[in-house]
A and B are shown apart, each in its own frame.
Chain A
Amino acid sequence: AAGVIQSPRHLIKEKRETATLKCYPIPRHDTVYWYQQGPGQDPQFLISFYEKMQSDKGSIPDRFSAQQFSDYHSELNMSSLELGDSALYFCASSLPTLTNTQYFGPGTRLTVL
């Protein structure tokens, strides 16, 4: 069965650089969620999209932005990177049901030097 695809899987950036993470949801899933997980931490919700519109916003810094495109893939844009942005970034997708079960991608490991 198709799963959530994230690219790249690993990314190394310098401070103050920008990064773009991509997420391709499971086919027919029209809701995408982004999470940030620091070492030993639980996933922190950043932002979600439903039908290409932002549906909810969590602890996403102002330096970050995201969008969902017409083919339902999503991109997380991160600017002015800081050392503290080093983390695993997960994308999850779900069908639009009341139970919103989320299926996670393998994650992108971002390292900011």
Chain B
Amino acid sequence: GQQVMQIPQYQHVQEGEDFTTYCNSSTTLSNIQWYKQRPGGHPVFLIQLVKSGEVKKQKRLTFQFGEAKKNSSLHITATQTTDVGTYFCAGSSGGYQKVTFGTGTKLQVIP
């Protein structure tokens, strides 16, 4: 079955430093989504990438979808304490099929 791995599993950064999490799928994806889950909260949708090589930005967050549509990355510039949480990528093979969540990267920001 489809597997989606993320690295690193944990990341501690000093406030103001940059952060990147990488997502790799065992199969080609039709789209990839990113979610953020705060401690004790539920996953919240951040963004969706559909096109090969697509890059999207949301303020300090930059999302990229690989050319082969099997990997993706999320980069946060100048982290803030509000960025704390677990970031999940979630891949889909399209249509109404299930979305497979990545293993998640837990980000801790040290003030």
Interface size on A, residues (CB 8 A): 25
Closest residue on chain A to residue B100 by CB atoms: A45
Closest 3 CB pairs of A and B: A104-B42, A56-B98, A42-B101
With A42-B101, A98-B30, A101-B33: A107-B42 Cβ-Cβ less than 8 Å: yes
With A43-B101, A56-B97, A56-B98: A100-B42 Cβ-Cβ less than 8 Å: no
Q: How large is the interface on B (under 10, 10 to 19, 20 to 34, 35 or more residues)?
A: 20 to 34
CB neighbors of A among B41-66 (8 A): 41-45, 48, 50
Judge if A72 is at the interface, Cβ distance under 8 Å.
Answer: no
Picked from B41, B88, B96, the residue with its CB within 8 Å of the CB of A100 is B96
Inter-subunit contact A99/B96 (CB<8 Å): no
User: Given the complex of chains A and B, what is the CA–CA distance between A58 and B44 in angstroms?
Assistant: 21
Judge if B108 is at the interface, Cβ distance under 8 Å.
Answer: no
